Structure 1
Amino acid sequence: MEPKISEKAWNPELEKNILKQWEEEKIYEFIPENENFTIDTPPPYPSGRPWHIGAAAHYSQIDMIARTARMAGKNVYFPIGIDRNGLPVELYTEKKHNIRMRETQRDEFLNLCREALDDLEAEMILIMKNLGISGNFANYYRTDSEEYRSLTQATFIELWNRGEVYLANRPNNYDWVSGTTIADAEITYEDIPTKLVYMKFKIQDTDKEIIIASTRPELLCACKTIIVNPEDERYTQYIGKNIIVPITNAEVKLRTHHSAQQEFGSGAVMVCSYGDQNDVALFREFEMEEIVAIGLDGKMTEAAGEYAGLKPKQARTKIIEDLESKGFVEKIEDIVHRTPVSERSKIPIEIIPMEEYYLKQKDSVEKMKKLGQEIKFHPPMHKQILMNWLESISIDWPISRRRFYGTEIPIWYCKSCSEPHVPEPGKYYKPWAEEAPFDKCTKCGKSEFVGEERTFDTWMDSSVSPLFVSKFNRDKEFFDKVYPTTIRPQAKDIVRTWLYYTLLRCEQLTGKKPWSEAWIMGYGLDEKGMKMSKSKGNAIDPLPVIEKLGADTFRFWSASEINHGYDFRCNEQKIESTKKFLSKLWNVSRFLSSFPVIESGNVNPTDKWILAELDNLVKECKKGYEEYNFFVPAIAIREFTWNLFAAHYIEMVKARAYGIGFSDEERDGAIFTLHKTLSTILKLLAPITPFITEYLWKELYSKESIHRQLQVEPESLEDQSSITKEITEFNSLVWNEKKKQNLSLKDTISIEIPDNLKSYKNDLKSMHNLA
């Protein structure tokens, strides 16, 4: 019999035709019902070359979530968005055009940013489509659209009117490279080599001195007090005395505080404005007047005296030299210091007092903890990232940024009395470029206004993504059907930012948590185990890999390589090696296409055995899919298909399926079982490899898409795993014996079938040509 499938191998070029069919048939079209499965899809950010291979693996698995839910009978809403706000595109635009943002007309700079984003976005959309992502591309959104930005502004206006936003001048994390405040959540910590300088501070009116160890001697000019631990007996007699600061000769008091660590350095600590967050807290507690030692340009201010104008690192080197030459240094140690670094610019941050807008969050921490406990995390271990972050929150969220490409803060100030005014929500406002939508000041009655020039922290936009896709305040009927959304898929590195801020903002605005489940993925690493990033130059571009090997090969690698929630290594050779499984699946399907599909048949013990094993496979896959852990079904399906179905069962029933030496009834039992097994494998595999399963399904079983089928449910058949071991061991015994005797697999051999396998005698005899 000629196989119905004539092609001898799966051709990834067929994926393009299948993509076109899906688009024409609109098989992923979403029409809201009373119950919906809504995915709060992460809008990827096109900065520089869009995406590395780890990100593409992440999004292919998000698509597996959508396909799994559809085959579970759920009405899936799978929106697609592109995140186009914030610092990365500004830095990319500056580098591409060799310009400086603050030296360029704002309108001109914004246009250059938009053009850059458009080009990068087009490639990103192409990658997503080529991956077979089944989202709503026809209506994909952009976070820099007027519609999206007007929502961000409307939510701010509502919170402003409720008193949840305030203006304050406080010490802030400052990224002097990008020239803006950043939130605690945008800081990472790196171990950086530095010098720990043991400095001699004289005790006034004595010939005594105390030694103070610091990694930041350039802040001596901002030192306002010295602290020691109250239990540190070395300093008891000097508490309350004046201490002379070296170089500056300023007089400061020695006091006690529990935060001083007796075991670090000498146990005595200088408190400066501002070396670290502990300094910030101590300045507030002691109500001390700050000295601004570092300016917005990232250089030492006039307060630093002769070191003014130097960058902190330069000032540190110079002041150490001066301390040594004047005899103020006891010793210097080379250490590795855990240093706060800007996540964006990768430069150590400074703490500088600045006037910014804050959104209240401290009072919501306990409520966020409660909501966090209600959310089901996949895998559960990553819930702790959120809980640890909530434990660390000590200040409200600074939400204003001194950048250009972002959603503008919709405030105008009275030119006369500086009273802030916010407009009515509903449209997108650009205060820096537009006339104020007010006739007169509500406080003094004057009619001239000045528009706010700052923008929001980009997380102010991203944190309302579930509200935007649900058409919050735009379509109440639609919103009521799809919100709260069902699941938030995202990477683990933005749990403390995107996940937390979304939880906070959506609860503030709706009184509900935005989703009931969170699906968290690990990092894509390079071959050496280093985190992949475009800035490090170790990122693999996914598009050439997908075009060369096909999306299904890439997707199956993603599922079979990545144990959900853990970091994973990316290697193109490994991706290519997974193609072998698709070839095996194709060969099995091509062989089975020689036989007609039979709806029922009388099955013999061999058929019952493989159907029982198939039922175990269904159970295993169901378990994995319910947890959205695609590693589980991918490994189970490959193992079953390759090492059991193809290697043992098909070989055992091949002669019977052809009707050689068997009755028609026995033949039909084999053919029925072969097709039932293959059709089940295709359904189980469809969420992971949507192209090849679609093609084979339509060729063999139905003209309707496999992605419109319901997933197979377990039949609770009797477990026959003990028989499996005996069958596979007997088959291996025969194959090894033939190899020993230098016989081909088709040659006759005389080997006794064990008594416990007598039920399978006829199939085993025909398989091995037993005498």
Structure 2
Amino acid sequence: MEFKPKIELKRWDFKIENEVRQWWEKEDWWKFDVNSPKPKFVIDTPPPYPAPVWHIGAAVSYSLHDMIARAMRMLGYEVLYPIGFDRNGLPIELYVEKYLGLTPWNTDREKFLEACRKALDEFVVNMKNVLKRLLIAADIDNAYMTDSPDYRALTQATFIRLWNEGLIYEAERPNNWCPKCKTTIADAEVEYKEREGILAYVNFRVKETNEFITIATTRPELLCACQAVIVHPDDERYKRFHGKIAVVPIYNREIPIIPHKMADPNFGTGAMMVCSFGDWRDVQLFRELNLKPIKAIDIDGRMTECAGPIKGLKVKEAKKKIVEILKEEGYLVKVEKIVHKVPVHERCETEIEIIPMKEYYLKQLPYKDVLKKYAYEMKWQPERYRANLIQWIDSVTTDWPISRRRFYATEIPVWTCKKCGYKYVPPPGKYYRPWKENPPIDRCPKCGSSEWEGEKRVFDTWMDSSISILYITKYLRDEEFWRKTFLEGTKLRPQGYDIIRTWLYYTLLRVHQLTGKRAFEWVFINGMGLDEKGRKMSKRYGNVIKPEEILDKYGADATRFWIALEVKPGENYRVIESKILGAYKFLTKLLNVARYISSFPIVDNAQLRATDKWILAELNQSLEKINRAYEELDFHAVAEEIYHFVWDKLASHYIELSKKRARLLDERFTEEDAMGAWYALHQSLKHVLLVLAPIAPAITDYVWRQLYSKESVHAQEMPKPRKEWNFERELEIGRRVMELNSQVWKLKKEVLKRKLKDPISLRELEEHGIDVSGLEGFEEDFRALHNIL
């Protein structure tokens, strides 16, 4: 009998991946059918922000999300898996400013917006191609855009509803302000970075005693806004000053010395000046002590008129200048260089200031308890990230400032009557641009005036992003679709851990406010891709690896198998090319295994030998672990189990043990004996292809269609363990046989210096301590493999 492989390919050629993707585009197994009787599974896939450079770590996270979609389809769900692009917000404005030389304050607004749109369109084309090359099975060509009129109309509709319910209001209060971006930012957009600074020790004269009290401060430029000095009530050094008056150096303003527990006796001198506003402790103290704030810094990050000799200077220049003046006038005791954590804007890493501004706010404090309840109710992978959300919820102390003084974002749909100040908010449904359009009303319902000022501010981008789950489930647009997907479906949020406090938190908040429901049943957290040295990839460091560079060398399947095999759920990982090469080698190994197995006829049943029962029992145990791992969305565990089964058991041992029997190369074996091997080989390969399909979709589909069906492997059900394959006795002996195989191979190669196919006698094995007794049912395959005389 001639055994000729049906699969001719000897090495996996990832150029085939494009051909396989074209098959999928002509088929319908991956398309969502809302009328399907299957249970619905909704994946609120994070819409990536279009950028000129997309690094490999960010891109391959979408492979993990695609694995979820593919696995859930095979587990029997109808999967809604949309792709979108998050196109609102600062990043594109900063790009246009830096590379096109257009500034939003010195450029016609429409011209600036058009420049942003054009750049975003170019970036999206490239990113769509990358997603396709990563073999993402979704409607990429028709991806949604958060800057589209219908998306922005939905964002505005949610604002209108919450405004009408009294959950949004306008107020002037201290806010985080980015002098570079010239906008208010929320607490969730603030990061703390270690920066070099100074600690200036400054003498304040005590009016009543003419003594000096020394203040240590990192913000001497805010002396002009100092309205009190506090000392700890129990600090013996300062008890005599309680209730007395201090005179602010240079500015000669009289301020109270107040005992307060917020003063830290162990920092600096233990005496602290309270300024508007050095940090959020100052904000709290001003409210508590009913102090009148002085605006020392303007929106450009320059000192105001009240700063006197340092007015007009940028903060850093002002800090340096005021220290010089203090020294000249004899108030400076000393200056220490320090490294301390300072708040910066996460987008541009500019040090923020706290400036009173009039903004729109969304109430969030009343919802902390229900959001914590949701945090506990949701299923997390991995579990430990639940604590991140709970800690963030506990840290929230103020309402969310949702307005921004930028341009490329969804406009706030409000017009203000110029005569009486009445705020007109239009009915929902349309996309409004108040800065450009007249309101859909003739006269002010309060005073009858017809003169309006359209709102120029826009929303914080998270106001758009936080309703992505509502947008993809057609909230307010298709009631039946919404019911079947959002209300009746299982909803999952996959995302990075770095945006738990923003995207996840704000989504839970907004969805609850709008629907009274929990946004998700599942949260899947992926880690961050780092460079070989463990550093975050950044243009700043010059260490960004583009996904195209990896895909051009190894293809998508190898990249996907690497990320699944390398990364435990939620863990950061290093992008090391040698490991991606290792994943590619595994795929070639799998192809060679498939090529070998394709030589043999496919049989539905056969008389099994002990060796065949053993590999099926191993397969069965692997299926149990793999099914459990897929249900937990643990792709690392899936990939690891597949790798060890294919490489360490199927290829290294079973194929070698059964080869002479399968190929009828030994006269002691009959065709009936061979059929047992054919059956076990094909069953092993079929099941490996099925369970590997969500992770390495192209090679599995290619081999599957070559051997088993014209219908895609991805249209099949995830295989379950079979009771009839629970061969416990054979499993136990088979594992001993694997150990013996390794011992015999080592003996031949390292001790006897023979080739592995050379004969060896039982006596030689015994002389070298290898006991081959008790191999009931395995003897003939074992003897044939090792050519035992």
Instruction: Assess same fold via TM > 0.5.
Output: yes
Taking the aligned partners of 2:78 and 2:265, their CA distance within structure 1 comes to 61
Counterpart of 1:750?
Answer: 761
Shift, 1:444, TM fit:
0.5
Q: Which of the residues 592, 600, 612 maps onto 1:595?
A: 600
Residue aligned with 1:289, SS:
coil
The answer as to 2:491 corresponding to 1:486 is yes
Taking the aligned partners of 2:777 and 2:113, their CA distance within structure 1 comes to 77
Contact 2:205 2:246 in 1 (8 A): yes
1:9-44 CA distance string (max 9 Å, x none): 111111111111100113211111463001011100
1:397-429 CA distance string (max 9 Å, x none): 000000010000000111211211000100100
1:567-605 CA distance string (max 9 Å, x none): 111123322232110010011000111001111111111
Taking the aligned partners of 2:708 and 2:596, their CA distance within structure 1 comes to 15
Counterpart of 1:176?
Answer: 179
The answer as to 2:232 corresponding to 1:229 is yes
Taking the aligned partners of 2:618 and 2:318, their CA distance within structure 1 comes to 72
Contact 1:82 1:140 in 2 (8 A): yes
Q: Which of the residues 19, 25, 28 maps onto 1:26?
A: 28
Taking the aligned partners of 2:579 and 2:132, their CA distance within structure 1 comes to 23
Q: Summarize the alignment of residues 151-300 of structure 1 with structure 2, pairs less than 5 Å apart.
A: 151-300=154-303
Name whichever of 725-734 and 442-451 sits farther off. 725-734
Q: Which of the residues 716, 729, 733 maps onto 1:723?
A: 733
The answer as to 2:436 corresponding to 1:433 is yes
Q: 1:338 is matched by which residue type in structure 2?
A: K
Structure 1: runs of 5+ lacking an equivalent? none
The answer as to 2:779 corresponding to 1:769 is no
Q: Which of the residues 759, 778, 785 maps onto 1:760?
A: 778
User: Identity over the aligned pairs, expressed in percent?
Assistant: 49
Q: 2:618 is matched by which residue type in structure 1?
A: E
Q: 1:699 is matched by which residue type in structure 2?
A: Q
The answer as to 2:64 corresponding to 1:53 is no
| Structure-1-length-normalised TM-score | 0.98
Residue aligned with 2:340, SS:
strand
Taking the aligned partners of 2:783 and 2:319, their CA distance within structure 1 comes to 85
Q: Summarize the alignment of residues 384-395 of structure 1 with structure 2, pairs less than 5 Å apart.
A: 384-395=387-398
Counterpart of 1:37?
Answer: 41
Counterpart of 1:737?
Answer: 747
Taking the aligned partners of 2:342 and 2:31, their CA distance within structure 1 comes to 49
Taking the aligned partners of 1:695 and 1:430, their CA distance within structure 2 comes to 50
Counterpart of 1:94?
Answer: 97
Taking the aligned partners of 1:429 and 1:695, their CA distance within structure 2 comes to 49
Shift, 1:137, TM fit:
2.4
Residue aligned with 2:83, SS:
strand
Name whichever of 351-360 and 619-628 sits farther off. 619-628
Contact 2:508 2:518 in 1 (8 A): yes
Contact 1:440 1:447 in 2 (8 A): yes
The answer as to 2:695 corresponding to 1:688 is yes
1:106-143 CA distance string (max 9 Å, x none): 00001110000000001111111110111232532000
Q: Which of the residues 118, 124, 127 maps onto 1:121?
A: 124
Taking the aligned partners of 2:233 and 2:396, their CA distance within structure 1 comes to 27
Shift, 1:252, TM fit:
0.7
Aligned-pair Cα RMSD in Å: 1.3
Name whichever of 507-516 and 573-582 sits farther off. 573-582
Taking the aligned partners of 1:59 and 1:457, their CA distance within structure 2 comes to 25
Counterpart of 1:663?
Answer: 670
Shift, 1:722, TM fit:
4.2
Contact 2:263 2:272 in 1 (8 A): yes
Residue aligned with 1:489, SS:
strand
Contact 1:222 1:292 in 2 (8 A): yes
Contact 1:52 1:534 in 2 (8 A): no
Residue aligned with 1:84, SS:
coil
The answer as to 2:618 corresponding to 1:613 is yes
1:311-366 CA distance string (max 9 Å, x none): 11111111112222322222322221111010011111000000000000011111
1:132-173 CA distance string (max 9 Å, x none): 111232532000000000000000000000000000000000
Structure 2: runs of 5+ lacking an equivalent? 766-770
Contact 2:102 2:112 in 1 (8 A): no
Q: Summarize the alignment of residues 489-500 of structure 1 with structure 2, pairs less than 5 Å apart.
A: 489-500=494-505
Contact 2:611 2:734 in 1 (8 A): no
The answer as to 2:126 corresponding to 1:135 is no
Q: 1:63 is matched by which residue type in structure 2?
A: D
Taking the aligned partners of 1:146 and 1:467, their CA distance within structure 2 comes to 16
Contact 1:560 1:634 in 2 (8 A): yes
Contact 2:415 2:452 in 1 (8 A): yes
Shift, 1:449, TM fit:
1.0
Contact 2:381 2:523 in 1 (8 A): yes
Taking the aligned partners of 2:733 and 2:170, their CA distance within structure 1 comes to 73
| Structure-2-length-normalised TM-score | 0.96
Q: 2:192 is matched by which residue type in structure 1?
A: Y
Counterpart of 2:545?
Answer: 540
Contact 1:216 1:275 in 2 (8 A): yes
Counterpart of 1:16?
Answer: 18
The answer as to 2:533 corresponding to 1:528 is yes
Counterpart of 1:67?
Answer: 70
1:428-479 CA distance string (max 9 Å, x none): 0000001111111011011111100000000000000011001111100100
Contact 2:208 2:244 in 1 (8 A): no
Counterpart of 2:768?
Answer: none
Q: Summarize the alignment of residues 331-410 of structure 1 with structure 2, pairs less than 5 Å apart.
A: 331-410=334-413
1:232-269 CA distance string (max 9 Å, x none): 22211211100111222211100122211111111111
Q: 2:417 is matched by which residue type in structure 1?
A: C
Counterpart of 1:564?
Answer: 569
Taking the aligned partners of 2:260 and 2:628, their CA distance within structure 1 comes to 54
Counterpart of 1:553?
Answer: 558
Shift, 1:724, TM fit:
4.2
Taking the aligned partners of 1:207 and 1:275, their CA distance within structure 2 comes to 27
Taking the aligned partners of 2:528 and 2:192, their CA distance within structure 1 comes to 17
Taking the aligned partners of 2:652 and 2:735, their CA distance within structure 1 comes to 13
Name whichever of 197-206 and 283-292 sits farther off. 197-206
Shift, 1:721, TM fit:
5.6
1:606-653 CA distance string (max 9 Å, x none): 111111111111122122211112111111111111111100110000
Q: 1:733 is matched by which residue type in structure 2?
A: Q
Name whichever of 685-694 and 734-743 sits farther off. 734-743
Q: 2:72 is matched by which residue type in structure 1?
A: A
Taking the aligned partners of 2:638 and 2:593, their CA distance within structure 1 comes to 19
Change beyond 3 A, Cα 1:722–1:322: farther
Shift, 1:99, TM fit:
1.9
Q: Which of the residues 685, 690, 702 maps onto 1:678?
A: 685
Shift, 1:96, TM fit:
2.1
Counterpart of 2:718?
Answer: 711
Name whichever of 736-745 and 143-152 sits farther off. 736-745
Taking the aligned partners of 1:533 and 1:737, their CA distance within structure 2 comes to 52
Counterpart of 2:319?
Answer: 316
Contact 1:48 1:92 in 2 (8 A): no
Residue aligned with 2:309, SS:
helix
Q: 2:711 is matched by which residue type in structure 1?
A: E
Taking the aligned partners of 2:373 and 2:531, their CA distance within structure 1 comes to 37
Taking the aligned partners of 1:736 and 1:389, their CA distance within structure 2 comes to 57
The answer as to 2:708 corresponding to 1:701 is yes
Contact 1:683 1:693 in 2 (8 A): yes
Contact 2:204 2:248 in 1 (8 A): yes
